[in-house]
Structures are given as structure tokens and as C-alpha cells.
Structure 1
Amino acid sequence: MLAAVVFVPSAPLLVPELAGPSAFDTEPVRSAVRDALADAASTGIDRWVVVGASDDPVTGPVEESGSGGFARYGVDVRVSVSDRTGRRMSLSALIGAWLREWAALGPTSMSIVGRATTPAECAVIGADLGARLRKSPERIGLLVVGDGSTALTPKAPGGGRRDSAVALNDSIVAAIAAADTAALLDLDDAPCDTEGVGGRVAWQVAAAAVDHSGSGVVAKTRYAEAPFGVGYVVGTWTVTGDRS
């Protein structure tokens, strides 16, 4: 059964070795992630599934290697979840694997989906995942890795601040804060691509999984800021049981 959903950013700077000792802006988001994972773990999680988007513009489920490293982000911090071979681990998978070790999450598997997957396809993939979660005797946590808009401040990497990017990011944060699965599933891929939203695919798969797991949830947001011009949101959906 689905026990919890934890939303975290796909940010290499979560990793202290990559952030460096002077990157003080990374500690609040790292602390929020730590607390969110601890909240979820306290409910009793037998197994975690990392839900993320691939780096490559492909569609559908993606088979990636079970191990890799952050060398392309500056320091080769190595991570692993399994001995499976496949294409290079995406950033979302690397973050999920690092969090597994950093927070001692226990058994963890990957559900990586191509970042070009359409909303309709995400809904189908998520529905299948949710149905499987409902049948499982294990208590399963979803670790959903993804970023918001990349144009939220004047020096943002997406070309500076744009009102359209801020409005879209605000709507995403509100949807996660309210556990509004319909709003997440309704996200349009075109404006998300325009505003640099990297988490759409992961959020839509997770939203559909929750819908089809038959579970009600209570949402709690721990962090929603843009310290580097990119939308980072950290939140937890705690399962309350079957919907009445």
C-alpha cells in the first residue's frame, strides 16, 4: 500500500560535497528535505520508489543504471541502489539514490520516466503504479524528485525573472500544498517546457498513482523558495487510508 509521498527538488546542491562549505543557501532546503523524509519514515516505510524524469527528451518508462556518480556536476560522489545496468543515471535518479544513503531510507527502486512524456501518458503510467501499490502488502513511500520554473529571480538560469514563470510555479506549489492531484495532472507540457519546469513528469506520475491507489492524503509543505532562481518545493503527503 501507499504510505507516503515526499516531494524534493532535483538539485545537485543538496549534496554537501557539491555545494561547498560557503553555500549557506542550501542548508534550509536540505534541512527541509531531512525533516520531510523523517516524517514519512516515522509512519513505517518498508520500501521506497523514486519517481523522476530522465535527462534525455524521451518518452515512457526509462531503464537506467542502478549506480552512478555526480562527476558531471563537479565532484564524483558515488551512489547506488542496485547492480542493474542501463543508460547513465539521470539527475533525478542520482538525487534519489543519494537521499537513500544520506537519510538511510532502506530498500529503494527507481521509476524514471522520459521527460518528454505527455501528461496523458504520465497519467497512464501513474495509474499503473498506483494499482500496483494498492495490491502490495508492503508500506511504500514515493520519493518524487523534480524542480519548478527556472525563471523566478533576476539572475535565474532560465533567462531572468518572468511573471509567467512565477505564476506557473506558484500554481504548482499551491497544488502540492493542497494535495490537488487534478491540478498537477492538468499541467500543460508546453508552458512547463517554456518556463523550464523539470518536475512535471514526476509530479503527474505521482498524482495519478495517488488517485489510483485509493488513498486519501494530508499534505504538509516544508519549503517553497527559489534560492538560485529555480523553484524548489519540499512537501509530504501522508496517507490517511482509503477514500470514503
Structure 2
Amino acid sequence: MLVAAAVCPCPPLLVPAVAAGATSELDEARTACSDALGVLAASRPDRLVVVGPGGEGEPVWFPAGSGGSFAGYGVDLTVRLGDGPGGERPLPAPLAVAGWLLEHTDWADAPIEGLAVGESLEAARCAGTGRELAASAERVALLVMGDGSACRTVKAPGYLDERAEPFDAAVGRALGAADPEALLALDAERARELRAAGRAPWQVLAGAAEGADLAGRLLYEDAPYGVGYFVAAWS
């Protein structure tokens, strides 16, 4: 069953080597991520799964030890999802960011696996995947990577959309309250229009959390660069 979850944003700029001169702009977010990961470690899970956006079709698994690189951002830096044989498929950027966060956390010995879910995956399928994860071990923890809308300002990647702020506000309330039903109510088409990459991963979390009776804390909420970022801890 699900015993804890951490929700973090997934911009590569969270990695200081990628952010370079802009590192300090996300210091508060990094600190909040570290606090959320501390909640995961304290839960002492038997299994940790990192869930993040990636691909368009069915969910894609990345075994323990899978590696990713930030070479595409001009940085000679590689990360791995804990110890294990890994696989041939490289981690998508959101899971690589998670790998970097985990490498900078005093983590337990639980195996770490990755799961990429596509933007088009419908809510029911996301929730079903989450339920399967929760039932896969006695103590399951999730690190859920995903961003909110990318349309909060005129300089945002998706330009300004007046629907973005209320969408993100609903996400923040749901994450802070550990409310699976509210996360499952997020509209996939609206999320796509607002370029909210976290919708599918959050709905996987919602499925995993059904019946778990977890309490939530919203540790960070802001929209630097016009993109909604959230950090939350459920335990």
C-alpha cells in the first residue's frame, strides 16, 4: 500500500549545473524538494517508484539503476535511479531530474524504479496504474514529478492564458489536502492546452492513494518563468 508520496516539479533547471548563473532562482524549490524527499525516506518503503511525464503511449518502465544524462542541456552530468542493472533506454528528463534529487538525499535501501506516463493517458488508466503500484508491495512510496501550467505570464513557454492560474490553484489545493478525487477531476484536455505536464503523473498518484488515508502538506507553490511549480509531501 502507499505509505508516502513526494510531489516535485521537473524542470532541468532544478539541477544547479544546468541552471548555472540562475541557480539561486530555484533555491527555495530545491529546499522544499529536499524536505519532501525526507518524508519519503522516513516512511521506510519496500519499494520506491519515480513517476513522471514522458512519451505518448502506454506507461514505460525503467528498472532500478537506469541512467539519464543532461548532455542535451550542455552539461556533462549523468544520474542513475539507485543501484541496479538498469536498462538500455535512457531516462527522460523528468526522471533524470528525480535521479539527481535522490542522489542528493540520504536515501534508504529500497529499490528505485521509474515510470514514464504520457500526456495522452486518460485519467482512468492513470488511476488504474496507481492502484497497481500501491498493491505491488507492503510499503510503497512514490516520487511524483510534474509541472503545472506553462501559461502563467506573457513570457511563459505557452504565453499567457487566463485559465492557467485557476487551474494551478486547483492543483495546489488538491496536493496540499492530499485529495485524490480532486486530482482525478483535472481535465486532461485543459491540462494539454495549458501545457501542464504533471496531470498524468498526479493522477497516477491519485489512484495509488485511494483508501490510504494520507495527510498532505504543500511545501512550495510558485510560478517562476511563468510555469506552475509545486512541492508537496503526503504521509
TM-score where L is the length of structure 2? 0.91
Secondary structure of the structure 2 residue equivalent to 1:23: helix
State the partner residue of 2:60: 62
Where has structure 1 moved over 3 Å in runs of 4 or more?
Answer: none
How far, CA to CA, are the matches of 2:43 and 2:132 in structure 1? 24
Q: How many residues align?
A: 229
TM-score where L is the length of structure 1? 0.87
- Residue 92 (structure 1) aligned with residue 58 (structure 2): no
Q: Which runs of 5+ in 2 are unaligned?
A: none
Superposed displacement of residue 87, structure 1: 3.2
How far, CA to CA, are the matches of 1:80 and 1:92 in structure 2? 13
State the partner residue of 1:112: 116
Secondary structure of the structure 2 residue equivalent to 1:25: helix
What fraction of aligned residue pairs are identical, expressed as a percent?
37
State the partner residue of 1:147: 147
State the partner residue of 1:7: 7
Partner deviation per Cα, 1:53-74 (whole Å, 9 max, x = no partner): 21x3x22221447112011122
Q: Which runs of 5+ in 1 are unaligned?
A: 239-244
What amino acid sits opposite 1:112 in the alignment?
A
- Give the alignment of 1:1-244 within 5 angstroms: 1-54=1-54, 56=55, 58-64=56-62, 66-81=66-81, 82-106=84-108, 107-132=111-136, 136-137=137-138, 139-159=139-159, 161-211=160-210, 214-238=211-235
Partner deviation per Cα, 1:91-120 (whole Å, 9 max, x = no partner): 221112112211132431112222321112
Superposed displacement of residue 223, structure 1: 0.2
How far, CA to CA, are the matches of 1:166 and 1:74 in structure 2? 32
How far, CA to CA, are the matches of 1:63 and 1:129 in structure 2? 12
Secondary structure of the structure 1 residue equivalent to 2:183: helix
Partner deviation per Cα, 1:130-150 (whole Å, 9 max, x = no partner): 222xxx23x332100000000
Superposed displacement of residue 44, structure 1: 2.8
Secondary structure of the structure 2 residue equivalent to 1:10: coil
How far, CA to CA, are the matches of 1:60 and 1:210 in structure 2? 21
What amino acid sits opposite 2:94 in the alignment?
S
Contact residue 99 and residue 105 of structure 1 kept, 8 A: no
How far, CA to CA, are the matches of 2:67 and 2:45 in structure 1? 22
Secondary structure of the structure 1 residue equivalent to 2:79: strand
Contact residue 64 and residue 86 of structure 1 kept, 8 A: no
Secondary structure of the structure 2 residue equivalent to 1:85: coil
Greater shift in the superposed pair: 36-45 or 199-208? 36-45
How far, CA to CA, are the matches of 1:22 and 1:176 in structure 2? 27
How far, CA to CA, are the matches of 1:37 and 1:236 in structure 2? 8
Contact residue 60 and residue 121 of structure 1 kept, 8 A: no
Cα–Cα, structure 1 residues 93 and 22, in superposed 2: closer, same or farther, change >3 Å? Answer: closer
